[in-house]
Amino acid sequence: MATNNTLLGDILFVADALDTFNIKKDSTYVMMLALQARGARVWHTHVQDLQWQTAAPVTAVATPIDVLSRAQVGESGEWFTPTKAEQRALGDFTCVLMRKDPPFDAEYIYATHLLEQATREGAQVFNNPQALRNHPEKLALLEFASFAPPTLVTRSAQAIRDFHALHHDIILKPLDGMGGAGIFRVKLDAMNLGSIIETLNQHGKATVMVQAYQPAIKDGDKRILLIGGEAVPFSLARIPQGSEIRGNLAVGGKGVAQPLSESDWAIANWFAPRLHARGLLLVGLDVIGDKVTEVNVTSPTCFQEITDQMGFDVAERYADALQQALR
């Protein structure tokens, strides 16, 4: 991918607290490193530090940081050196990278509105805030029904029971979860279905996603990364371990990088240009077998695992795409 000659300058990451990063796995960390290596000055802020006041631009209290490589990190584990925080208009940065992890809740939605206002003031934000808001984690899948397994999104306990009666083996999960949290499997015997429904939908107060169980999960829940309208040629298959039904790395799944299969390429090549045209520079498709189960747009991960196992530098691919996108 060719890049333009736009100077990277100051790049603001809107992300979780830096002291929560696991630098052996975190994708935002290697993004920071790759951009810093290209001459960018990396800044960090939290969603709660975004601010918009009448007759003033959207600002953030942001901190410039020097990012250390894993080889440079000493026994203290400190991987960044901060300097003095400043309140700056988002439009003053070369670009803003929204990397806040889910939950995709009301506060996240409010943040996209502030970031969208910043774009009207001239800021370049990736992923595009309106596109983030229009593609909520998990729920965005239903637009692409032909690629998805049988899926139901509902608050109705009876609709969930009817779905189970039809498909016999189902997965239930909250719409705003991440990392495998709150995922349940119910087999033909319907063991604990009532209790699980009560837990997830809170007696009709919360919406639940239900999907037909995909036996191909034994071979892994594949994360396929789309960057700048193109697929990374390797996926990370997150394989459940032991009696666990979830392949998520956060709950002990084993991550095995592998070349995209013919089916994977067909899926990726269909989604990549369409989602990129909507302002989504980075997308993580979750694929089980030949079915897409989630479309992740908030803070897709798995950069380091693919790079370490396959030698393909995903962060560099991302940096290329970002430079190409800058105007």
Convert the pLDDT of each residue in 160-192 to its tens digit: 999 999 999 999 999 877 666 789 999 999 999
Distances (CA, A) of 24 to 46, 85, 302, 305: 22, 26, 11, 9
**Domain extents for the chain?**
10-134, 150-213, 216-325
Q: 150-213, superfamily in CATH? A: ATP-grasp fold, A domain (3.30.1490.20)
Q: Do 150-213 and 10-134 fall under one CATH topology?
A: no
% of the chain residues with pLDDT over 90: 85
Mean pLDDT computed over every residue of the chain: 93
Q: Which residue, chain included where needed, has tokens 């940065």? A: 93
Residue 138 clears pLDDT 90, i.e. is over it: no
Summarize the confidence of residues 236-242 as an average pLDDT: 90
Q: What is the pLDDT of residue 219?
A: 93
Secondary structure class of 80 (helix, strand, coil):
strand
**Which H or E run includes 128?**
none
Architecture of the CATH domain 216-325? 2-Layer Sandwich (3.30)
DSSP assigned state of 1: -
Q: Which two tokens stand for residue 41?
A: 């000055």
Please state whether beta strands 170-174 and 208-212 pair in parallel, antiparallel, or not at all (unpaired). antiparallel
- CA 11 to CA 9: how far, in whole Å? 6
Taking the domain 10-134, which CATH number applies?
3.40.50.20
pTM for the whole structure: 0.93
Residues with catalytic roles: 138, 173, 223, 238, 246, 286, 294, 296
What's the pLDDT tens digit per position in 53-83? 999 999 999 999 999 999 999 878 899 999 9
